[in-house]
Amino acid sequence: WRRGAAAKRRIGGASRETLGARDCDVVIVGAGPAGATAAFYLGEAGHRVVLLEKKEFPRPKPCGDAWCQPALAILEEMGVMDRLAQSALAVRRGGFVSPRGIRCINTEGETYGSVTGCKTFAIKREIADAIVAKRAAEVCELRENTKYVGARREAGVWHVDIEPGETLRCGVLILADGSTSYAAKQLGIVSDAPDSVCSHAYAAAGTHQFHEADGVMLFNTSMLPGYSALFRHADGDVYLGTYVLPGGRA
């Protein structure tokens, strides 16, 4: 589909003749990794894409900061790994602590991923998101500090209202504004309230004693299936995140 001429003429239910020269093929709400990646590949395929982000890059983003093999392969294909490498720490020493306190942590740095081929990098989202979004902006129109207001579909065409007082027309609308998506709720696609909680903090370089490993998962009986995680970053900071998930006593 990325190379098909038909895909370039039509996407969703609207042709370019229906949309008009000043309209776009796709509007994407949210320029995080999901939205920016979609924008990049659609733009590369020749589609006219507008990527909306309510904040300005770089911006803080609560996340585990761990980028695993499938994501790294996509970043490599997008051509951004060289830029990300300056702020990336390859996880070579890591493991987990079981609910009974049993430690399974590789501290040698040579065997991590040698059997499964697993590869993990620790990259702060504040840094990575900006680089990925700017790469997408090379093949699409990135609008920062732009708030999504609402959308409606008429005769196969999406009318997307944004602030300040503008309406975009497109054939396809992609909602990538996070797990608590305001856009999905506004359109009635998601009606359930969030059922998970994440808390996180950074320990600045020189203020912690987490040195024996690059990444460790901590499993506590009262939190299962939730967990906590520690990841060391290239600048020496350590990320600590705790994730409370449905199904556990917590």
One digit per residue, the tens of pLDDT, for the chain of length 250 reads 233 344 444 555 555 555 666 689 999 999 999 999 999 999 999 999 999 999 999 998 888 888 988 999 999 999 999 999 989 998 888 889 999 999 988 877 665 555 566 788 999 999 999 999 999 999 999 999 999 999 999 988 999 999 988 999 999 999 999 888 899 999 999 888 888 888 999 999 999 999 888 989 999 998 899 999 999 999 999 999 999 998 888 7
C-alpha–C-alpha distance, residues 246 and 229, integer Å: 18
C-alpha–C-alpha distance, residues 62 and 9, integer Å: 38
Cβ 68 vs Cβ 120: under 8 Å: yes
Q: Residue 74's pLDDT is what?
A: 95
Q: Residue 16's pLDDT is what?
A: 54
C-alpha–C-alpha distance, residues 126 and 193, integer Å: 26
pTM of the full structure: 0.86
Cβ 175 vs Cβ 186: under 8 Å: no
Q: Residue 3's pLDDT is what?
A: 36
C-alpha–C-alpha distance, residues 18 and 156, integer Å: 9
